Amino acid sequence: MTATSLDNSAHWHTLSEDELFAKFKTTREGLSAAEVTQRLAEHGANEIQEAKPVRRITIFVRQFSSLIVWLLVIAAVVAGALGEIVDATAILAIVLLNGVIGFYQEHKAEQSIAALRRMTAPLARVRRSGRSLIVQATQVAPGDVLEVEAGDVVAADARLVEAVSLRCIESALTGESEAASKLATELDDADLPLGDRTNMLFKGTSVAAGQGTALVVATGMKTELGRIADMIGQAGACERTPLQEKLESLGRMLVWVALGIVALLFLLGLLRGTGLLEMFMTSVSLAVAAVPEGMPAVVTVALALGVMRMSRRRALVRRLPAVETLGATNVICTDKTGTLTLGEMTVRELFVAGQTFAVTGEGYGPHGEVLFEGQATGDEHAEPLLELATTLLACNNAELMLEEGAWKVIGDPTEGAMRAVGHKAGGNTTEIERELPRRHEIPFDSERKRRTIVRRMPDGRLRAFVNGAPDVLLQHCTKIYTEAGIVPLDEAQRRNIEEQNEAMAVRALRVLGAAYCDLPQNIEAHEITEKFERDLVFVGLAGMYDPPRPEAKESIARCHDAGIRVVMITGDHPHTALAIARELGIAGTDDIAVSGVELNKMSDDDMRTRAPHIAVYARVSAEHKLRIIQAWKANGAVVAMTGDGVNDAPALKGADIGIAMGLHGSEVTKQASDMVITDDNFASIVAAVEQGRGIYDNIRKTLQYLLASNSAELLLMTICILIGLPTPLLPIHLLWINLITDGLPALCLATDAIDPGVMRRRPRERSQGMTDRAFVERMLVGNIATVAMCFCIFVWALRHGDTESARSITFTTLVFSELSKSFSFRSETSPLWQLRWLSNPQLPIVVTASLGLQLILHHVPFLSEVLGIVKPEWQVPWLLLGAGFLPLIALEILKIYRNKAPHK
């Protein structure tokens, strides 16, 4: 068998057993040692391969390739040449920090694939040359005959040839929370999704019950798990976040505009006869001043603080820019099982003795009770509920255990749900095992659709307890348990049971029937077969489902209020998915669920066109999930993907931000994610979105403040040079202004408290720039007010004194005005008197300290000599301080005007 023939292996489930063995040139006796060696040499070891890693030094160097980074490096060199060692060191530290963060980000795909390797089975049982052997899972080859039993982890993708009551837990691959029943019969439909390929076993899944023999059809990277690993690598191609795109674009624009203006001023200065060295130093200082070199530090600090805030709300961020990206999200594609739902089968309704009971509580824990018509059950209900509970518990192999504060099931999730509700209804497993000892079992089978466990009653009789599909069970029932006792089952009662079953199914409940019969006294346990499953006494029904998380509906409503679209993507059945989606408010009554089979028929263009109109995707694979994410991104959406299973990992990697569930999420999913929700709570995602939006607002207002301040310096210098006045500021003045105004005040703005109304706004579009009309208006008003005031003061000072004193006064006035403006930039709409001052006490402290330091400069001879300033008369600083507040007043007037103006 060649590697090429293995590549065309999409339809192994449709082949007959003879065709299958012929295709792989083997028999039920298995391969010989020589054949195994040959096939391993041809197809490789059965392992998830890791891509050849890029050298670490290469990854690190790549982080310093952008134009803005090189400008910062040049700025640091110039600052060092001018003696500003602190400034130069700070700039280089910023560049290095961003490089380290980028270096860390590029290692995640490798970690995800390593987690997939740890997930696979270390050992496997195979039949070779007629003998059963235990081998390393990596040594399993295509054509091997694989033997599995309860508790095994499947070593490779394999087609079943024998199955005895075999059930597998495939939730990591398919998203279904209940164990899947397996059969060894061929299937007709070639396009079945993974969850419906009942004759296939998949690498990395586990066997919940039964035994099976299967022919290995795919190993290593050819398995479904391997395909997911490959998709993780492809989906993990490095993409820039919306914030990175905007800052990079803005940075390039600022660089070229600043360099153009500086070059023009340099030429004008030379034409006016200014010295070459003086104009060079002035031009370089202007270039450094024009570009907000503190911006990368501000962004890093804002994001890092967001990480801390989000961790307190149970969201752990693994990639720093993801904080802001989540704030830009306008579509959340979420897995159902374990994310919107608990991922634990829970009984919601019971029907016994002609009455319907509601069951409260979630998951496998003991919390909850049985209610009748909304009220606690009375004594008259105790006996029928106990009868049903005893039947459910007596025919049960699952165990419930408390592990790390959470109740978990060992065995079949459906039987775990039966055990939990049996206790709520008054049953006691310990008493049943002690008083009704087990004597025989007829396992569940997909054809029989029922399980039977025989126990010896206290009076010595043998009783067969039977649980199974209601329609099948009713065919074998001739009696029914009622409040009046056991009576013959008539047609009216039969129709009532069928109607109850259908009503539960319509509500997306999976229904299990319970019955029993007493066996002949002279029969031995080993003689009991399914032929004795007749003349059953019907006891009742239990309707169960994987319930929505209690907080999920409210969280989805908050998403809708915030303009965020929520889309459900699940491997579960369409009917179940749509019922849950409607209950949570994701889908309306007219919406339908689109299946994976339908997606296979759509081209990428069709998916891109239809994606905005589809709320629920069901029965989808890992590949489908990734295509859905890509379709939304092709529409310009910023997409978040949540999930917990291995099948979610490629989509998490391909989304703008991947969010993994921390409690029940697989290690693969966590490694592929940008953020991990530690409590598996969808509400924590909404809280994280709120933080992300607040962080973007803080970065935007900080950038606005920095650009307004830096461009004011550039504009003032330009005007004076153009009209032939002396330069109002020396190069050392420009660097000092940048240090004192671009540093701590900007950091205070970047760490400001989040606006309470941030979740009542619609999300911004991916194409929306960091700067808009309102941004430019505020910047211009602040600029014009600052430049006009400083220019007038400079001209006045030149007429009443020398150039040195005029520069000193202008220098101090500009510092005062830029510091005072920081208060106004806290909010684009709220005036100063409406701001919550206690929410950011650092800013007033920093501004006051900076103002005091600026005043001190004039009175310390050494500092005044270094900065080239003179000591003014005692009243001048206070007049300048008052003048410095004029730009602040202008900005506040703009807010009032804009708030009163009608919204367009």
Element (H, E) at 818: helix 803-824
Q: Minimal CA–CA distance to 442: which of 519, 365, 506, 510?
A: 519
Rounded to 10 deg, the angle between the 803-824 and 842-857 helix axes is 180
Tokens describing residue 624: 């489908």
Amino acid, res. 646: V
Phi and psi angles of residue 165, each rounded to the nearest 5 degrees, phi first: 50, 40
How far apart (Å, rounded) are the C-alpha atoms in residues 83 and 89?
Answer: 11
Contact call for residues 728 and 813 (beta carbons, < 8 A):
no
SS3 per residue for 651-667: HHHHCCEEEEECCCCCH
What is the largest distance, in Å, between two alpha-carbon atoms of the chain?
A: 125
* C-beta of residue 407 within 8 angstroms of C-beta of residue 363: yes
Write the single-letter amino acid at 574: P
Instruction: Give the position of tokens 């009696």.
Output: 479
Q: HSE (CB half, 13 Å, CA atoms) of 36?
A: 20
Torsion of Cα atoms, 363 then 369 then 374 then 380, to 10°: 140
Q: Quick one: angle between helices 276-290 and 242-271, nearest 10?
A: 160
Active site residues: 335
Q: Taking the chain, what is the end-to-end CA distance rounded to the nearest angstrom?
A: 70
Nearest to 645 by CA among 631, 632, 658, 628: 658
Closest CA relative to residue 342, chosen from 85, 674, 681, 725: 681
Going from the C-alpha of 295 to that of each of 72, 98, 325, 483, 747, the distances in angstroms are 10, 12, 18, 76, 9
d(CA 890, CA 781) in angstroms, rounded, equals 7
In angstroms, the CA 707 to CA 721 distance is 21
Residue 455, SS3 per DSSP: strand
Question: Alpha-carbon distance 397 to 419, whole Å?
Answer: 9
Query: In a 3-state reduction of DSSP, which class is residue 249?
Result: helix
Q: What share of the chain is helix, strand, coil (3-state, %, to 5)?
A: 50, 15, 30
23: CB partners within 8 A, 6+ apart: 1, 5, 15
Amino acid at residue number 509: L
435 Cβ contact partners less than 8 Å away, ≥ 6 residues apart: 458
Q: CB-based contacts of 600: which residues, under 8 Å, 6+ apart?
A: 191
CA dist., res. 223 & res. 254, Å (int): 50
CA distance 433 to 294: 71
At a CB cut-off of 8 Å and minimum separation 6, what does 860 contact? none
Angle between helices 773-800 and 803-824 (to 10 degrees): 150
Contacts by 311-316 with C-beta closer than 8 Å and gap 24+? 313/684, 313/687, 313/688, 313/691, 314/677, 314/678, 314/679, 314/681, 314/684, 315/675, 315/676, 315/677, 315/678, 315/684, 315/685, 315/687, 315/688, 315/691, 316/662, 316/675, 316/676, 316/677, 316/678
